[in-house]
Amino acid sequence: MKKLIFLRNVMILLCFLTVGSNAWAKVRLPNIIGSHMVLQQKSKVKLWGWAAASETITIKTTWDTTTYKAVANNGAHWEAEINTPAAGGSYTITIEGENKIVLEDVLIGEVWVCSGQSNMEWSGDQGLQQSKIEAPNATNNKLRFFYVSKSTSTSRQDDLDGKWMVCSPEEMIHFSAIGYFFGKNLHERLNAPIGLINSNWGGTPAETWTPEYVINSNQAIKKGAASLKPTEWWPYKSELAFNAMIYPITNFSIAGVIWYQGESNTINYYSYEKLFTGMIESWRKEWKINFPFYFVQIAPFKYEYNYVGALLRESQTKSSLYNNTGMVVITDLTPDTNNIHPILKKEVSLRLSNLALNKTYGIKNINCESPIYLSHIIEDDKIKIQFTNTSNGIIMKGKEITCFEIAGPDKVFYPAQAIIKDDIVIVFNEKIKTPVAVRYAFNNTAIPNLFSKDGLPINLFRTDDWEIDTNTK
């Protein structure tokens, strides 16, 4: 009897082992690869997943007759590169090994990652009227959304929680307003499907989106990271969001990234330029491509400490000189400096999409970059300032030019007058006979009124590098 019981138990165990072995042998895919996805057009894109070690995986698509093959390694991982055609679809992809997976309604087009903190995250769910107004007309089969669930990890993950969805009124209302309007603009101008990967988390500093090796590469970055304080609502330590919400999709081919973040780094503005450009480079390293990275300069806001907003915007301006980046200035799109979440997301996304259309897709006659300080000369009691991106001229909106300050040798700044002459701005104050430096919109809440004739606001600047006291509340 005991022998029979023993044999029965052995048979049960073998059955479980067999089931487990077969389950492990089944081909699996990461969540970023699924039905309704958009693949980057005219590229060699990666498909990958897991299967039994040494298992052969075959891949077939309905856009060509090629059969692609991959073999799972001893870690049960496989990947294959497949060629994608010009924009179009829908298509089907069949992936077969121990089992068969059929991916349906796959589009070929342009794929962009939308990342950052709350100003990128906000949608109709947060009460944005522009999203609510747009939602009833948001049915668009050529726009696809991938939502990345909020998650953290101390180590790099191979998958994340998320799902591709077709744009509809019900889905659009929950999606990033910046992301949606950006994608809609691209689709209308390029006549191509657009895939948007939404990976953001309100309140997060850039450090948590940045690999730890970048943080440790520079003393200023390390100091800035150490100054961050924990909160109840979002992570702040290095790479926690990167490991869980960015790294798992770095095999997925993209056209570029749009980014809106910085408010949570005003406390350590002094390290932001090196941190931010280091983050950009680390992402490009993981994707193995020098993709365009377009970002939004933070808006004027009444921060707790003086000048920190201006200094962070200054750091962002310096970052915009980094290769294959672009920045949009939104000082004129800030109706309320008491609100850290400016509500005009549609207008912001138009500026982002114009950057992409011009600089990435080569569409001419789109003036997409704000004027930026270039140089100055001092002549007697006046400072003459020249800007970039003013080929069509400079205008003011209002009765007189605002937000200029001028200082003499004592380094004390006074409000200044300004006039425009031949697209050069001349700044002066009758009391300052020997001017030394000039600042424009260089405080937390300034909403200046100088623009290019293309309608883009002139960016803040200062000609001095003097120490600024930010401790005053």
Residues 6+ apart with CB under 8 A from 53: 72, 73, 74, 75, 76
Is residue 10 assigned to a domain?
A: no
Q: Please give the angle made by the CA atoms of 254, 341 and 212, to the nearest 5 degrees.
A: 50
Q: What is the pLDDT of residue 391?
A: 87
Domain count, the chain: 3
Taking only the tens of pLDDT, the chain with its 473 residues reads: 445 444 455 454 444 444 444 445 699 999 999 999 999 999 999 999 999 999 999 999 999 999 999 999 999 999 999 999 999 999 999 999 999 999 999 999 999 999 999 999 999 999 999 999 999 999 999 999 999 999 999 999 999 999 999 999 999 999 999 999 999 999 999 999 999 999 999 999 999 999 999 999 999 999 999 999 999 999 999 999 999 999 999 999 999 999 999 999 999 999 999 999 999 999 999 999 999 999 999 999 999 999 999 999 999 999 999 999 999 999 999 999 999 999 999 999 999 999 999 999 999 999 899 999 999 999 999 999 999 999 899 999 999 999 999 999 999 999 999 999 999 999 999 999 999 999 999 999 999 999 999 999 999 999 999 999 998 65
Is residue 467 assigned to a domain?
A: no
We report the CATH number of the domain holding residue 346 as 3.40.50.1110
Q: Are 320 and 98 in contact (CB under 8 A)?
A: no
Unique residue bearing structure tokens 């780094």:
265
Q: Which of 81, 104, 127 is the last residue of a domain?
A: 104
Is residue 390 assigned to a domain?
A: yes
Residues 432 and 354 reside in one and the same domain = no
Residues 238 and 250 reside in one and the same domain = yes
Is residue 422 assigned to a domain?
A: yes
Q: Which of 293, 325, 360 is the last residue of a domain?
A: 360
Is residue 365 assigned to a domain?
A: no
| Whole-number CA gyration radius for the chain | 26
Residues 138 and 166 reside in one and the same domain = yes
What's the pTM value of the predicted model, to 2 decimals?
0.93
Residues 100 and 139 reside in one and the same domain = no
Distances (CA, A) of 403 to 413, 415, 457: 12, 7, 13
Residues 42 and 151 reside in one and the same domain = no
Residues 6+ apart with CB under 8 A from 399: none
Residues 194 and 343 reside in one and the same domain = yes
Q: What is the pLDDT of residue 16?
A: 42
We report the CATH number of the domain holding residue 61 as 2.60.40
Is residue 303 assigned to a domain?
A: yes
3-state secondary structure the chain: CHHHHHHHHHHHHHHHHHHHHHHHHCCECCCCCCCCCEEECCCEEEEEEECCCCCEEEEEECCCCCEEEEECCCCCEEEEEEECCCCEEEEEEEEECCCEEEEEEEEEEEEEEEEECHHHHCCHHHCCHHHHHHHHHCCEEEEEEEEECCCCCCCCCCCCCEEEEEECHHHHCCCCHHHHHHHHHHHHHHCCCEEEEEEECCCCCHHHHCCHHHHCCCHHHHHHHHCCCCCCCCCCCCCHHHHHHHHHHCCCCCCEEEEECCHHHHHHHHHHHHHHHHHHHHHHHHHCCCCCEEEECCCCCCCCCCCHHHHHHHHHHHHCCCCCEEEECCHHHCCCCCCCCCCCHHHHHHHHHHHHHHHHCCCCCCCCCCCCEEEEEEECCEEEEEECCCCCCEEECCCCCCCEEEECCCCCEEECEEEEECCEEEEECCCCCCCCEEEECCCCCCCCCEEECCCCECCCEECCCCCCCCCCC
Is residue 95 assigned to a domain?
A: yes
Residues 6+ apart with CB under 8 A from 54: 71, 72, 74
**Strand order across the beta sheet in which 461-462 lies:** 413-415, 404-407, 437-440, 461-462
Residues 237 and 259 reside in one and the same domain = yes
Q: What is the pLDDT of residue 9?
A: 52
Residues 68 and 212 reside in one and the same domain = no
Residues 183 and 43 reside in one and the same domain = no
Domain residue limits at 416:
373-462
Q: Which of 104, 127, 145 is the last residue of a domain?
A: 104
Residues 279 and 140 reside in one and the same domain = yes
Neighbours of 219 (CB within 10 A): 10
Residues 132 and 281 reside in one and the same domain = yes
